Amino acid sequence: MDYNTYFSEEVPNALTELSANTKPEWGTMSANEMLEHLIAGVILSMKDVPRSITTPEDKLPVYKKFLMSDRPFGKDLPKPKEFDDYPTKNDDINESKAELLKRIEEMLLYFEKHPQHSAIHSSFGRLTVEEWKHLHKKHFTHHFLQFGLLS
């Protein structure tokens, strides 16, 4: 499945199964916090601003190789500190779902218009558009599994 299909079909379908009362299978985030976390990640990927890279430079190739693989993220990973700059703002989960879908659409259009765009991720370093799309798909899948939205 290509990235555009994943984000335009798979993500909206999975979100129909999510409610404010959906409990995670691991971790401490609420369903709404998870959505806000994904929104923050999408926003971060469109902004090429200076960010500290927490991964030692000699380890970046190994991290990027993992990122681009089909291996899933582990459970209970700490979220990167930069996500703290995007506090939860929607109290209603349906507003968060709508904003996430809007931000995804905005991201895909932005990436289409700016195919040479790149931005820094604190763990993986500078990422291209294709690497960001792969990261988002891996990240969304991780959290959708966390909330039982995918089998």
Domain segments of the chain: what residues?
3-146
Q: What is the pTM of this model?
A: 0.92
The confidence score (pLDDT) of residue 139 equals 96
The confidence score (pLDDT) of residue 47 equals 94
Amino acid at 63: Y
pLDDT at 88 over 80: no
Calpha distance 54→31 (Å, rounded)? 27
The confidence score (pLDDT) of residue 80 equals 64
pLDDT at 116 over 80: yes
% of the chain exceeding 70 in pLDDT: 91
CATH number of the domain located at residue range(s) 3-146 in this protein: 1.20.120
pLDDT tens column, 121-140? 999 999 999 999 999 999 99
The confidence score (pLDDT) of residue 91 equals 78
